[in-house]
Structures are given as C-alpha cells and as structure tokens.
Amino acid sequence: MKILVLNAGSSSQKSCLYEITDQPPHQPPQPLWEAQIDWTYQPGVAEIKVETHQSQQIKTLPFQERLPVIETLLSTLWSGDSPVISSAAEVDAVGHRVVHGGQHYHDSVRITPEVTAEIDRLSVLAPVHNPVNLEGIRAIETILGEQVPQVAVFDTAFHAQMPDQAAIYPIPYELSQQGIRRYGFHGTSHRYCAERTAEILEQPLSSLRIVTCHLGNGGSLAAIRNGRSVATTMGFTPLDGLMMGTRAGSIDPSILIYLIREAGYSADKLDQILNQASGLLGVSGVSNDMRQIDKAIAEGNPRARLAKAIYMHDLKAFIGAMVAVLGGLEALVFTAGVGENAPQVRAEACEAFGYMGLKLDLDQNNARPRDQVISTEDSTVKVLVVHTQEDWAIARDCWQVLQG
Ligand code: AMP
C-alpha cells in the first residue's frame, strides 16, 4: 500500500510517500519520496524541495492560492525527471496531521464529511493550524479524487483520555463544559517516542512510567503510564507549559489583565507578543534558535544567558511535576530539535534528578546519540534520545485505520 503523508503547518508543508507491504514495523523505512513547501520563502513566492532516492530538486513558484502549488508538488510523484510512481492512481491512501481534534477523537479516524465539519468547527481553538490542515484534505480530494481514503491523525488524540484532574482547569465548571480545558499537543510525537522507548528497552510499554520531553521550537512534556498520557504541559492551546522558542509558556494570567487595563493592549497584540515575541527570543533579544542562544552566551551576552537559565529552570520544574504525577520514573526521553541535538540541555536537566539515582553517561550523551540509552548501567532511571518520526507514525496509523 502506498501512503502519502501530508504534515501541513502554517509556514511549511512536509509530505512523504511510504510503501507499506505488511504489518508496519515501528522504525520507519526510507520514504520513496519526500517533499516540502516553504510558504514564507518570499511574499507571494513558495519554494518547493523534492527528494527521492535518485534526485533532489528545488524550485520556486509564484502563489496566490495554495492548491496549484500543492498540485505542482504532488505531480513530481508521477511526472518530471524522476517519478516514483506511474500515475496518481497508485496512491492508495493519504494520512494528514491535524492539530486539533477536540475532546472526542481519542484515535486517528477515516475522514468523512462529518470529520471535516468537526475539524472546521475546531478551527476556533487552533486558528493557525486547523484551517491549513483542512485545505490539505480538500486539495487531496481535488487532485487525487474523493475515492482515495484519507485519515486524520490528531495531535491532541494521545492526550484525550487524560484524567479529569489533569485536563480540567480550576475555573468555573460551566466554562470547562464549553470546551475550555487542557487538550495537550505533540501527541503523535509523545506516543511514538514512548512506543520506541519500550522497543529499545525491550520491555512492555505497560510496565514503564515515562516522561517524554519534546523540545523543539515548540516544546511540551508528557507523563505516560500504561502507554497513556496522564499529564502534559501544553494546554487549551500550544502556548501553555514550557518556555519555547518564541512562545512564553505558562505565565501568571494577571499579566494579561494588567496589560489590557493599564496599557490598553488588544487581544491581537497579546496574541502576537505571547506566541511570536516571547520565549528564548523575547528574553534574549537574539533568536528563538538554541544554537544562536548558545553562540551569544559564548560571546558573553547576559540576556542570552538569562534566557537559557529560564529555559532550564522551566524544564527541570516541569519534569519534576511530571515525575510527581507518575509517582516514580523508569524512563526519561529527549526528542525533537533541542532534545535530540543539545547534549548540554540534557545533561543539566538530568543533573537535577541525580538525587533519585539518575545517572547520565556523559560520553554517550556527547556522542550524537540517536534512538539509544544514554544513562549509565547502574542509573535508576533510563535516559534515552529518540529521533521523533511523526510522519512515519501518521503513515502507520493510516494503514491501521484502513485495515479496520
Ligand atoms: P524542531 O522544532 O524540532 O524542528 O526543532 C527546531 C529547534 O531545534 C531549533 O530552533 C533549534 O533551537 C534546535 N536545534 C536544532 N539543532 C540544534 C543543535 N545542534 N543544538 C541546539 N539546538 C538545536
């Protein structure tokens, strides 16, 4: 079965084509084709990058609407210099990352008109993401035809069964009943990393209490017991929890009230500040990228040093909270851009948990680990680096949903 994956974000769209012949393994095979659209390359211009086993091509296209650009991208699958299939009819199914699935979707689902209506309805909760996810679903209907099955894989699904005490905010209960609750995000990544951890440790997932740290430009932690998320740091939106690249994470909500009352800030201005001008960028004034922060620290920049110190303080505090919810820990897992590539962040976070017998193997930690244990033999907690594979997790879910 050839499964196309569309992972559409606000500024880019990643796509890949996998071939699955039998029960898919946990670890991904090499995709037949990978492509990416950068919608923000230049105003009115999109950049397309396409990679196959044989070739790599990059081109730019003017764009007013997204559909013709997606059409051009997908046409490289079956036409041009190095096609990987003979026609569009060879695509058997399409899996989509959908950011917000609300309270009702606990698993991935086949897309029907009811499902698209629900994704549309949930756009008020994820205004940057759900509309572009829908656009992708409609583009596939137009380009490949309505007969091709499509599957939605929700970022929120893994957290949808969190216990009420982890999901309900202490606000008037009527507001919770209107849907103002913790949903949690990055669920596909947290679930993949937990399953991969059980595989690497050769232990049943049900026997492990795991904290997964997804530390990228956005960041969240999940506390996982019996293979289920029981607590997570992102909340009603992906703004809650850890300090991130440009997002503030958890701050006292009175700051917003103060800024509205005393400084006349509008909702749009607060949204822009908290989502795009805070976090590492806001504090340092340098960058949202941890590599640039480290460079500025090496050059003696005090605000970059403060930004990193706040980031580490938040990370340790939230890991501690997740461990407390689980009542103990078998595995601490680092993933995504910072989690996979920044040994110093892992080392400092782990040092805080030395009191419970967690011991990092510093050589392993520094040796560009990938999908492996980096704690010492006698550590009471296994520490792992897992390379997150959201696209493959989406393809596997798509296969499973269609097998019924
Ligand atoms: P992601 O959102 O998972 O793609 O992660 C992107 C972020 O990972 C970047 O903004 C950087 O902050 C971070 N990153 C990538 N490579 C490194 C590295 N070698 N050291 C530290 N941070 C890194």
Q: How are beta strands 2-8 and 93-98 bridged, if at all?
A: parallel
The CA distance from 294 to 229, in Å, is 32
Q: Is the CB of 289 under 6 A from ligand 1?
A: yes
Q: Which atom of ligand 1 is nearest to the CA of 280?
A: 12
Packing angle between helix 267-276 and helix 254-263, nearest 10 degrees? 130
Q: Check the CA dihedral 125-131-136-140 and report its sign.
A: positive
Per-residue pLDDT, 205? 98
Q: How are beta strands 219-225 and 228-232 bridged, if at all?
A: antiparallel
Q: Can you name the residues that pair with 209 across neighbouring β-strands?
A: 225
Q: Check the CA dihedral 57-62-63-68 and report its sign.
A: negative
DSSP assignment of 255-301: HHHHHHHHH---HHHHHHHHHHS-HHHHHHSS-S-HHHHHHHHHTT-
Per-residue pLDDT, 82? 80
Residue 118 scores a pLDDT above 90: yes
Q: Is the CB of 243 under 6 A from ligand 1?
A: no
Pick the more confident residue, 4 or 21: 4
Q: Which atom of ligand 1 is nearest to the CA of 345?
A: 21
CA nearest ligand 1 atom 23, residue: 338
Q: Is the CB of 249 under 6 A from ligand 1?
A: no
The CA distance from 341 to 238, in Å, is 22
Q: Is the CB of 336 under 6 A from ligand 1?
A: yes
Q: Is the CB of 341 under 6 A from ligand 1?
A: yes
Provide the annotated binding site.
7, 14, 97, 214-218, 289-291, 337-341, 390
In Å, what is the CA distance from 289 to each residue of 7, 304, 352? 22, 11, 24
Residue pair 339/214 in contact (Cβ under 8 Å)? The answer is: yes
Per-residue pLDDT, 194? 98
CA of 250 to the centre of ligand 1 (A): 21
Residue 25 scores a pLDDT above 90: no
CA of 371 to the centre of ligand 1 (A): 17
Per-residue pLDDT, 397? 96
Per-residue pLDDT, 27? 83
Residue 10 scores a pLDDT above 80: no
Residue 267 scores a pLDDT above 90: yes
Q: Show the domains of the chain with their CATH numbers.
A: 2-154 (3.30.420.40), 202-385 (3.30.420.40)
Element (H, E) at 315: helix 302-326
The preferred substitution site among 192, 214, 291 for testing ligand 1, maximizing ligand atoms within 8 Å of CB, is 291
Residue 229 exposure: Cα atoms within 13 Å on the Cβ side: 34
Q: Is the CB of 245 under 6 A from ligand 1?
A: yes
Pick the more confident residue, 8 or 166: 166
Q: Is the CB of 337 under 6 A from ligand 1?
A: yes
CA of 278 to the centre of ligand 1 (A): 17
In Å, what is the CA distance from 292 to each residue of 75, 121, 335, 380? 37, 39, 19, 34
48: three-class secondary structure by DSSP: strand
Kindly report the average pLDDT of the chain as a whole number. 95
Q: What pLDDT digit, counting tens, does each position of 190-205 carry?
A: 999 999 999 999 999 9
- Rounded mean pLDDT of 367-373? 95
Per-residue pLDDT, 129? 87
Per-residue pLDDT, 386? 98
Provide the annotated binding site for ATP.
14, 214-218, 289-291, 337-341
CA of 215 to the centre of ligand 1 (A): 8
CA of 289 to the centre of ligand 1 (A): 6
- Alpha-carbon 184 to chain mean position: 11
Q: With cut-offs at 50, 70 and 90, classify the pLDDT of residue 347.
A: very high
Q: With cut-offs at 50, 70 and 90, classify the pLDDT of residue 374.
A: very high
Residue pair 168/184 in contact (Cβ under 8 Å)? The answer is: no
CA nearest ligand 1 atom 20, residue: 342
Residue 135 exposure: Cα atoms within 13 Å on the Cβ side: 20
Residue 26 scores a pLDDT above 90: no
Q: Can you name the residues that pair with 224 across neighbouring β-strands?
A: 210, 229
Q: Check the CA dihedral 274-277-279-285 and report its sign.
A: negative
The tokens for 258 are 């103060």
Residue 313 scores a pLDDT above 80: yes
- pTM for this one? 0.94
The preferred substitution site among 338, 348, 387 for testing ligand 1, maximizing ligand atoms within 8 Å of CB, is 338
In Å, what is the CA distance from 315 to each residue of 86, 160, 207, 353, 370? 49, 23, 25, 12, 21
Amino acid at 79: S
Residue 9 scores a pLDDT above 80: no
**Residue 363 annotated to the active site:** no
CA nearest ligand 1 atom 4, residue: 337
From 22, 81, 120, 155, active-site residue: 155
Per-residue pLDDT, 371? 96
DSSP assignment of 203-244: S-GGG-EEEEEEESSSEEEEEEETTEEEEES--SSTTSSS--
Per-residue pLDDT, 125? 86
Q: What pLDDT digit, counting tens, does each position of 130-182 carry?
A: 999 999 999 999 999 999 999 999 999 999 999 999 999 999 999 999 999 99
Q: Is the CB of 217 under 6 A from ligand 1?
A: yes
- Rounded mean pLDDT of 64-85? 90
Q: Which atom of ligand 1 is nearest to the CA of 388?
A: 3
Q: What is the phi-psi region of residue 80: left when phi exceeds 0, alpha when psi lies from -120 to 50, beta otherwise?
A: left
The tokens for 180 are 């103002």
CA of 340 to the centre of ligand 1 (A): 8
Q: Is the CB of 342 under 6 A from ligand 1?
A: yes
Q: With cut-offs at 50, 70 and 90, classify the pLDDT of residue 103.
A: confident
Q: Which atom of ligand 1 is nearest to the CA of 289?
A: 12
Tokens 């990643």 belong to: 14
- Alpha-carbon 353 to chain mean position: 25
Per-residue pLDDT, 282? 98
Q: What is the phi-psi region of residue 184: left when phi exceeds 0, alpha when psi lies from -120 to 50, beta otherwise?
A: left
The CA distance from 394 to 386, in Å, is 17
Per-residue pLDDT, 211? 99
User: First-to-last CA distance in the chain?
Assistant: 14
107: three-class secondary structure by DSSP: coil
